Structure 1
Amino acid sequence: MKDASGVCGLAAISPPIASGSTFQPVSPVRILNTRTGAGGRIAKLGAHATLKLKVTGAHGVSTSGVSAVDLDLTVPSPTDSGYLVAYADRTARPDVHSADYASGHPAAGAALVKAGTDGEVDLYNAGPTAVDVDIGLLGYYTVDAVG
């Protein structure tokens, strides 16, 4: 859609926003490292497996009012190709790759992930082999009422 001046703008095609969000930075922290056991897991994420990870109430993240978390996902030493999907727990897994990896090449990806109603996010390994995963937490978003 174009506005009166003939310029196509996001405001012209987006619905009005009823609320906003505020980014709350935290000191960057590794909340999962499957090689060292950080995050309570010392095993690779299996092929076509899902891992639930609590993100609220720890590492400086509020226990309530959290709409999303900003994560850094790393697959340090994959032995095959695949991808990770990070998404809100108790929701359908989306068709969005959060981090693609290839055999022999460390890979990283950033993911802004909605927090599940239980304060958890799910991490799915769509690859054919198990992989080690590191997840860094950069911050979170809180919902702000507008009006």
Structure 2
Amino acid sequence: MDLIADITGYFARSFSNGYTATNPGRLVDTRLGVGTAKGSVRSGGSFTVQIAGNNVGPLPADGVTAVALNVTVTGPQGGGSLTVFPNGTGLPTASNRNYSPGQTIANAVIAPVGADGKIKIYNGSWGSADVVVDVVGYYSPARASAYLPITPFRWLDTRSWGKGPPYDSSRYHIYSRFGDPGDTGFVLNTTVTNTTGGGYLTVSPDPNNIDAYKGKYAGRPNRPLVSTLNWKKGETVSNLVHATPGPGGIIDVWNTGTGSTDLVVDVFGYYTV
């Protein structure tokens, strides 16, 4: 196979912009006219998304230099790619998500924000496509949370943990490494496999703490209307996610599909203060 790798940025050991995790929220859904005009994006077309000051998240009006997103393409009429880049700059020779006709597929994106507080999304396909954009965090000079990469390790694999795969409408809560309140975000790779029906995965913060689960008095969290990855029956699909933990250092992983699916979660790093 051939391989294409595009670079969009790097993390340094020196002082730089810090990360802030947000409540996951939907910025754009072209199918419904959320955050942009209603209707699929034509071939070669583009649209802008207001990042600075957006009440989804919410995102501050000043100081946002980059934004952490999950970008999904659905219902494309032809094969192609999406490119996410700062508004007011030229179209880069890079892509954020490639797809085939009819495919629904997502990718994690860290996108620089233009001087006007906006990003632009370009459809480099031979046909029209719908686009869904969820926000999970942002970067700014005013924040101190830094990225700490680690040697990757497998956090969860439901194929071998003895409890069976999550069924539709079910969820699993996952604790942070030590319940450290300084961990403001996790960088994970989530994979679904042995899928018996189609659906999508949601990763979201859990409002409970560890003691509430141990004491069996934890309240059931509400699942936000966001997605991390999508799949069809029989597919194995993975995607990177910047996961926002709740105040107790816990995240929830929801199977919103029509059947059971095994789940694999690998950890690549943390955001910490």
Range class of TM-score, shorter chain: 0.7 to 0.9
Match runs of 1:92-103 below 5 Å: 92-103=90-101
Contact 1:19/1:144 (CA < 8 Å) preserved in 2? no
The SS at the match of 2:49 is: strand
Number of residues paired by the alignment?
132
Letter of the aligned partner of 2:29 in structure 1? N
Partner of 2:81: 83
Contact 2:77/2:126 (CA < 8 Å) preserved in 1? no
Match runs of 1:98-137 below 5 Å: 98-137=96-135
Which stretches in structure 1 are left out of the alignment for 5+ residues?
A: 1-13
Match runs of 1:47-62 below 5 Å: 47-58=43-54, 59=56, 60-62=58-60
Matched residues in 1 for 2:81 and 2:92: separation? 13
Query: CA 1:145 to 1:18, structure 2 compared with 1: closer, same or farther past 3 Å?
Result: farther
Letter of the aligned partner of 1:43 in structure 2? G
Instruction: Indicate the structure (1 or 2) with the bigger Cα radius of gyration.
Output: 2
Match runs of 1:27-42 below 5 Å: 27-42=23-38
Matched residues in 1 for 2:40 and 2:50: separation? 18
Letter of the aligned partner of 1:22 in structure 2? G
Matched residues in 1 for 2:143 and 2:118: separation? 23
Tell me the TM-score normalised to structure 1 length: 0.82
The SS at the match of 2:130 is: coil
Matched residues in 2 for 1:121 and 1:109: separation? 16
The offset of 1:123, in angstroms, is: 0.3
Letter of the aligned partner of 1:93 in structure 2? L
Greater shift, 50-59 or 136-145, is seen at 136-145
Letter of the aligned partner of 1:125 in structure 2? N
Greater shift, 137-146 or 79-88, is seen at 137-146
Matched residues in 2 for 1:18 and 1:86: separation? 27
Matched residues in 2 for 1:142 and 1:120: separation? 14
Contact 1:100/1:109 (CA < 8 Å) preserved in 2? no
The offset of 1:124, in angstroms, is: 0.4
Tell me the TM-score normalised to structure 2 length: 0.46
Matched residues in 1 for 2:129 and 2:136: separation? 22
Letter of the aligned partner of 1:47 in structure 2? S
Letter of the aligned partner of 2:88 in structure 1? R
Contact 1:54/1:120 (CA < 8 Å) preserved in 2? yes
- Percent sequence identity over matched residues? 25
Contact 2:71/2:107 (CA < 8 Å) preserved in 1? yes
Matched residues in 2 for 1:39 and 1:127: separation? 21
Contact 1:78/1:104 (CA < 8 Å) preserved in 2? yes
Letter of the aligned partner of 1:61 in structure 2? L
